[in-house]
Amino acid sequence: MPDRVYNFSPGPATLPVEVLQQAAIDIVNYNNKGIGLIEMSHRSKDFMAITVEAENLIRELLNVPQNYQVLFLQGGASTQFAMVPMNLLGPGKKGSYLNTGVWAKKAIKEANIVASAQVAYSSEGSKYDHVPADGDYTVDPAAEYLYFVSNNTIYGTQFHTMPKSDKMLVCDMSSDIMSRPFDITPFGLVFAGAQKNIGPAGATLVIVREDLLDRVAETVPTMFRYKTHAEKGSMFNTPPCFAIYTIGLVCKWLKKIGGVPAIEKINREKAAILYEAIDSMDFYRGHARKDSRSLMNVTFNLPTPELEARFVQEGAKRGLDGLKGHRSIGGIRASIYNAFPKQGVIDLVAFMKEFAKSA
């Protein structure tokens, strides 16, 4: 394989090289069966086994109890912004939301179309530079759930501990799923687009407590009911076959290196190297407050937009790809998900030091 760039993109993001290599073989000839993976029937014995294995690995890695359904859906996390209230609320019901970034704000908008969203907290006034502590907000007593985004890719903030509430939790974990252990039992539902931390674009992982499946109203269209997909084992219609297969490979890789606790240790080491560099030089300024810094997406600014553009351009020439910050805030964003190699962070820090001296 030729030399690879370091992919700092927020998603689709870098995947383990061994996963890519195995997928390249199986796309052409899966398991020496004379048929390519992406040609196989989703109802074939071989593909059904792939799906079952992927689900079992997810359950093992995240310690998911049997009273939760593991679903592989389509439509991205953005579809879940509507599916969550469609299935768990309905007319006259409300959910409480923590507005800590663009994706939470979009979810609030969708919830208000379907039912009602109470915004219990918003950090929009400070350009989403932090997440709240438990005592910073009050959940509406009439709310069915407390919804939050565990990691905010655009602004580089993350809940270091999950919120506590007497309401069930609902969480968009698209950008930090499987990056650290967490107890799923306070959650009614967790969802994650695959393309940041667990696979390629095309699949959305949903983990939902079984007793919630019957909440959905008959007026909700069939494809938008979690119950539809749970009853058919994610096979009601043709699922995102290649994405499910690749999620399974990523889970095998993660299990082999020691599982979620092991990758958390690696993630903390990578982030510490980068944040230490930011803090040690006046040239760089982190966007997120220190108490809310993300282990997945490190956001920072340089003295001027012109220098930021030059930094991105020169970094790309060195194989440091995808460093441009989101258009809404500019600056630099280094996404260092599970599969991102530590050496890439080390190389970025070396470049940062050189750039600061020469600018």
User: In whole angstroms, what is the distance from residue 53 CA to residue 130 CA?
Assistant: 38
Task: Choose, from 94, 167, 176, 196, the residue flagged as catalytic.
Answer: 196
User: In whole angstroms, what is the distance from residue 94 CA to residue 85 CA?
Assistant: 8
Q: How many CA atoms lie within 13 A of 303 on its CB side?
A: 6
User: In whole angstroms, what is the distance from residue 227 CA to residue 310 CA?
Assistant: 50
Widest pairwise Cα distance in the chain: 64
**What's phi and psi for 147, nearest 5 deg?**
-105, 135
Task: Choose, from 129, 172, 176, 321, the residue flagged as catalytic.
Answer: 172
Task: Choose, from 26, 94, 103, 324, the residue flagged as catalytic.
Answer: 103
Active site annotation includes 172: yes
Provide CB contacts within 8 A for 55, sequence distance 6+.
Answer: 70, 72
- Whether 13 contacts 335, CB under 8 Å: yes
Nearest to 161 by CA among 187, 182, 140, 185: 182
Residue 186 DSSP symbol: T
Place of tokens 């890719």: 153
Q: Is the dihedral of CA 219, 223, 228, 230 positive or negative?
A: negative
Active site annotation includes 353: no
Active site annotation includes 324: no
- String of DSSP letters for 299-346: EEE-SSHHHHHHHHHHHHHTTEE--BPPTTT-SEEEE--TTS-HHHHH
Element (H, E) at 105: helix 102-114
3-class secondary structure, 88:
helix
User: Annotated active-site positions, please?
Assistant: 103, 172, 196
